[in-house]
Structures are given as structure tokens and as C-alpha cells.
Amino acid sequence: MSIAEVPAERRIGAAALARLLGSPPPAGPAYLALADGLRRCVLDGTLPLSTRLPSERELALALAVSRTTTAAAMERLREQGFVRTRRGSGSVTTLPDGPRPPSGAVLLGGTDTGATDQTADLTMAAPPAPRALHGAALRALDRLPRHLAGTGYAHLGLPELRALLAERYTRRGTPTSPDEILVTTGAQQAIALLTATLLGPGDRAVVEHPAYPHAISAVRATGARPVPVPVGPHGVDLDLLESTMRQAGPRLVHLTPDHHNPTGSSLDDAGRARVRALATRYRTVVVGDETLTDLTLDGPALTSFSGASPGRHVVALGSASKSFWGGLRVGWVRADRDLVTRLAQERVHHDMSTGVLDQLVTCELLLAADDVLAERRAQVRHQRDVLLAAVARHLPSWRVDRPDGGLSAWADLGAPVSSALAAIAPHHGVRIVPGPVFGVDGSFENRLRLPFSQPPDVLERGVVALAEAWRALGVPGSAANAEPTDLRGAMV
């Protein structure tokens, strides 16, 4: 099915669209400013594809402009391929026809021959192991003999790890018992089990936009269809999420409420409560991906996504990968007992259980989590500040919001050249993932994820290489003598 044939997934009202567009530039034809604003919202993902727009008359009233202005803007967008209009069914956002970069999978350098051993790899938001891991592994080895008499298969996870995780959720405000925990082989398996259990061909699943690429892949692997809802400075757009749940009838919603990957934004307490209420009202399983929860860098720790009474439709998943180390391959799901049982039954089709030693190491790290995570946060906070300062010096035309946590920042390049930049970047000494990889249908060509999980010297070298690639593209505003952005504000 081509994009032009895709039906509308949701509607956006005239008042909401007016708020999204903001104030138009003071100079130039009004219809061009309106068309450019709408096109920018589509490319940026804040106005998702397959969204039905208000009528030209409604939009004119909301913007206090003439209908001639909105009609001319819509005609320009139709000519450019960003809107399709059918008589009797209104105008719907789309993208121009033509080849697009791949989406739904992270590109990790591939076979590009421009890369060398000195190439800075900024493709993954994943930290190295903490200093405490070696000691935790030694203590885990001491505990291993008591497990050797068994088969080594713990289908739901080791009882001691499930108990520790249940206690952890309870301390955060979500009363949990061990039988509400399933240990998985990483968070990615947790997502795959949830999609395989709850989705089938033709079903719809809401994903954030931008989204964690492997969540998109997991949805598509079941034959289901990902429906994007945009993420803003304060987390997912809750009004659009509600209208999408009401109109599209999804079977599953996947959200990252804490330090969203890649934008770094988080839902506040009121937003979390509203999401839980929506899950109950529409009887839709809403998954809160809490893999980055432990990495709050500024401000107080975030409250539990699941709340005090999560109910059967609210699910949380977590992982040792970002808090401790990806090499452990330990993740988990916190869910209603019945769903845990269903997930465990699905799990046997993939593997029998998570490695015993990895689970024991994770137990040891959880017991020492306060000290381990304090060191981790200090390290990541310093790396974030190094990255943002380097971008301010070498790429002053880019806009980058300062994230309060997580492992990445989301850069606005100011031009739809993300894929082109990613293509030439290895020749200048850096690997990056283009923005559209984090989208469903080719959005985010003007965006780039900047992970800050690498050591400071690698981050500095990577930004310098990005600046060289940026200048090689010849994008307006990429000159080395551009004015630096004010570090005192939200952008660096």
C-alpha cells in the first residue's frame, strides 16, 4: 500500500493545529508561511502522517487569516506531496512519493568503507560496564554452586531476582509481588514477547514518534501496523494519544515515559495518571518502557509509571542494560499475573530462560544499586555536558534541547538532510544514525540523535567530525563562523 492510499488514523482540530504551528514569521506571504509551517510539522513528526486536517474554513478561523490563505497553503502542500485531498473525505498528511531511508532498525555502520578504526561511533546509546560489575560477578560466582544441582532453567526468572525486582517496584510506589515479574533476555525480548502475545496481523499498535526503532520492528514482525503519536518537550502528546486510542482502536500502546529515547523528554505525574486512566477506559494494554528510569541526571527521581494501582492494562518493562551493562542481557516485565503467565508461555517458543549467572550478577548489582547508579549518573551527566558544549562550539546552528536524563539528545538540524549527513559522516570520522530510523514513515529528516554514552574524548572527536561533514554538505548556516547559540537557555 502506498502512502497515498493509507486512510486517516486520527483527526486534529483547528485549535490544536494552530497551537502546534505557533506564530508565523512577520514577513513574507502568509500562505507560504502557513505551508512551510505545516510542512515542517510533518517532517518533524509533530504532525503525524495519516492525520486528517481541519477544513480550510475551520483553520482560517483558528488562525485569524482569510480562507484564501489557507486554501493557497493547502494547494502548495498538495503540489509538494505533503497533503492529499479527496472529495468528501478532507485532507490528510502524507509524504512525497519517492525512495526513503529505511526505518524500524538501527543502522550500525554497515559495510561503509569510509570508516576507520579511529571513527567515533555515535550510533548507540549504551554505556560501558560500571567499575562495580567485576566485583558483582565474583560474588555471583560464589552464589552459583547452590544452583548447579538444578537444570538451570528458570522459566519465569530466578526467584531471588524476581523478589528483588518486586521489592524495587514496591519502593517506587507500585506494590508488586514476585509472581507479577517475568525475567527476560533483555528488554528487547520483553517487547517482542508483548507484541507476539497481544498483536496479530492487521492489528494496530500505538508507538511514539520518534520511537525506539526496535519497538517499531517488533510491531511489524507480528503483521500489525504501528500508528505514530508525536512526542514533544513534555512527553507523548496526550490529547492526540487519546484521540488515536478512541479512533484507531489499538491493541497495544508502547511508551517511554522516562527520558524518552531519543528526545530525552519525560511525562509528569499528571500525564502518567492520565495515561493509566486511558488504558482502563479503552481496555488497551499500555506498556511503559522504563529502561532509562535510573538515569535521571537533573532534578528528582521520576515516579513509577504504573502508579499505586496499575490494574491489568498497565504494564512496565525494565532492563539492566542502561543502568548497568548491556552485556548482561537481563530484562523484565512487571504485569498482571495472568499476562505474566501468557508471556511465559510465549517465551518458550523463543528460549527457555535467561542465563543463571547473568541473573545472579544482576542481583548483586541491584543490592548495590544506590552506589553503582550514583557513579553512573555522575559519569553520564559529565558526558552530556561535554557533548552539548561541543555542539555549541562546532555546530552553533543546530538546536539541541538539554535533556534531564537518559543517554541521548535530539538535535534539530534546521534542514532535511539527516540521511545525507549519515551517509557521508563515516568519511569524516564519525558514524551516526539518521533521524528517519526513529520514525514510522520517513519523518525526522531534519533531526539527529546524539548519544552521550561514549567517553568525553570520543564525543568531542565525534562532534568535530560531524561539523566537518556538515560543512561538506554545504547546508546554509553551516559556516564555521556562524553565531554560537546562547548556552544559558534550553538550546545549546
* Mean pLDDT to the nearest integer, 110-114: 40
What's residue 181's pLDDT? 98
Average pLDDT on 402-422 reads 94
pLDDT of 116 higher than 80: no
pLDDT digits (tens, 9 = 90+) for 273-319: 999 999 999 999 999 999 999 999 999 999 999 999 999 999 999 99
Query: In the predicted model, what is the mean pLDDT of residues 151-155?
Result: 92
Which has the higher per-residue pLDDT, 253 or 33? 253
Q: How large is the average pLDDT for residues 155-179?
A: 97
Q: Sort strands 399-400 and 408-412 into parallel, antiparallel or unpaired.
A: antiparallel
What angle separates helix 269-282 from helix 238-248, to the nearest 10 degrees? 10
117 confidence band (pLDDT: 50, 70, 90): low
Evaluated on CA atoms 477, 481, 482, 486, the torsion sign reads positive
Domains of the chain: 3-93 (1.10.10.10), 120-128+372-473 (3.90.1150.10), 133-370 (3.40.640.10)
Exposed, middle or buried: residue 399 (CB in 10 Å: 0-12, 13-18, 19+)? middle
Q: What's the confidence (pLDDT) of residue 43?
A: 73
Among the residue ranges 19-23, 217-221, 465-469, the one predicted with the least confidence is: 19-23
Q: Which of 26-40, 132-146, 444-458 is predicted with the least confidence, judged by mean pLDDT? A: 26-40
Residue 97's pLDDT band, with cuts at 50, 70 and 90, is low
Task: Decide: 13 and 242 in contact? Cβ < 8 Å.
Answer: no
What pLDDT, on the 0 to 100 scale, is given for residue 101? Answer: 44
CB atoms within 10 A of CB 108: 10
Could you say which DSSP state residue 405 is in?
A: B
Over 70: is that where the pLDDT of 215 sits?
Answer: yes
- Place 107 in a pLDDT band, splitting at 50, 70 and 90: very low
Mean pLDDT score of the chain: 88
- Mean pLDDT confidence for 403-428: 94
Return the pLDDT at 433.
Answer: 93
Classify 323 as helix, strand or coil: coil
Q: What is the pLDDT of residue 490?
A: 24
Over range 330-343, report the average pLDDT: 97
Task: Return the closest-CA partner of residue 321 out of 459, 129, 131, 160.
Answer: 129
Q: pLDDT tier at 90 (50, 70, 90 boundaries)?
A: confident
Predicted confidence (pLDDT) at residue 267 exceeds the cutoff of 70: yes
Q: What's residue 443's pLDDT?
A: 84
Whether residue 341 contacts residue 308, with contact meaning beta carbons closer than 8 Å, is answered with no
C-beta of residue 246 within 8 angstroms of C-beta of residue 9: no
pTM: 0.78
Query: What percent of the chain is helix, strand and coil (3-state, nearest 5)?
Result: 45, 15, 40
The reported pLDDT for the residue numbered 7 is 56
Q: How confident is the model at residue 162 (pLDDT cuts 50, 70, 90)?
A: very high
